[in-house]
Structure 1
Amino acid sequence: MKFFTSKEVREKFYLKIKSKYRFVIMNNDTFEEKFSFRLSPLNIFVTIGSTVILLIIATTYIIAFTPLREYIPGYANVHIQEGFRSLKLKVDSIEETTKEKDLYIQNIKNIIQGSNIEENIPETYKNIQEENDLIKDKDKNKNIGIGENVNTNILAYLYFFKPVNGIISNFYNPSDNHYGIDIVTKQNEYVKSVLKGTVIFSDWTNDGGNVIIIQHEANILSVYKHNSMLLKKAGEYVEEGVPIAIVGNTGQITTGLHLHFELWYDSNPVNPQDYINFN
């Protein structure tokens, strides 16, 4: 048995992979040579290796620099990420807006019940407002004292109907928790809406008796208390000057036949005499 040295084995291997072969394609009937080329095991190895390397490079490029990577498990879609971020901002802003609405509704309940009004409105998420162009800054989100430092310029450009004919017996005094005026008038006098708007409350309360509240444009609210009869229901739309109730003397906090009238702007009470001529 013949043994080969390592050098002889290497030489034999090199000769084997460098050996030339001829690949021929022939016509089966005529044996005419149609196509042929020479190759060697080394050429085949180099060709296959180069192809694999090129495929790896191409796949890496596709994964790293083209949108096709989004179809590979584990890679998130950029548009989906942006969509989730946008939805998160909207949810946060809706949550904060809901809190403000809850505070607004609570203040309406306080007005109806004659309770103290929340003086401070919570700050909104300022960082969210900066990131989300759809979120607008609102002045009402600042800390505002009841009846103080309220920008009421818009009210000066509106024409308010007089709610009822009569004489003012008790004036606006927020320091004494009297957020409106009392108007003494004759019996069965109609109470009229000062502006067009939607009735948001029309019912009985212990302190105010028959109370009706109307939401107007520009975040204006008008309140009418101690009525003997309510002529409009919650949800109804009324025009300015339309009768909505009849003056009365209902409720626990009353001293006689009169209308207690309040005017609110941006969740803050304002003096009705500044904008309505009661003469």
Structure 2
Amino acid sequence: MSTQKKKKSLLKKLSSKYRLAIFNEQTYEELFVVRLSRLNVFTVVGTLGVILIVLVSLLISFTSLREYIPGYPDAQQRLLIVRNAQRVDSLIVEIKRRDKFINSFQSIVRGEDQEVGATPEDASVEMRANGNGNGNDNVNFSRSDEDSLFRVQVEREERFNLSVREVPQSAIALESAFFVSPIKGLVINGFGETTGHFGVDIVAAPSSRVSAVMDGMVVFSGWTVETGYVIQIQHPNNLISIYKHNEILLKEIGQVVKAGEAIARIGNSGELTSGPHLHFELWYNGSPLNPVDYMTF
């Protein structure tokens, strides 16, 4: 009974009406009158609090104020996260290529057979050797294990040999060599203007093609953290040309290119770049040359 009485008294207190009036001090005229209860006050204050919390949450979520919250990344940090994810993906691809190369090399050293896909020519030869086609059934054209290993060894040794060409080239003096400009643009940073700057920085139109300066063979084509997408070409007379900060590479390692042939596209890749441009280097016998002395950009 006492508990019910307490509940009734509490409910009565909450629902009891109170009159709030505002009077004019001089005339005692009522200016504003409102009837409230404790329950009405709690309901109004709670509703206003919920509305205020919702408005503050929306303001933080859909405006730039969220960047001032500790732990929330700003636009620069989100861009850095995306770039790091792309670099990690490129590093994973390079690691897989390296592991595949190392496993193949170890297999060759141990004398194991290499997995080589069968071609239609090999299939037809095998059919003739087995007597399932036209020809002499007594002739065996299948490759032996020693022949396969020797072919792999020769192909590996001659991969970067510039003498393996359709048309052999004779040695050309550096003074009489003709270079094709890798790209037409404006030189913004010359040779040796800053410490360790062994080339020139050239600005050109976006997505401009980068051309090979001479005939040669691609000895490197890949990604580095500092210089982005890089391609390196070996030319006759111990000449090497290097093209850095590209957007995309058009040639792979081991391919032979001609002078003026498109090898990449200008870009803005790598950490050591301040904008879309091409960093071009020319090396002779292990020493850097000033490209401006040999070609016009």
What's the TM-score, normalizing by structure 1? Answer: 0.44
Q: Which protein shows a greater Rg?
A: 1
- Between 1 and 2, higher relative CO (CA 8 Å, sep ≥ 6) is seen in 1
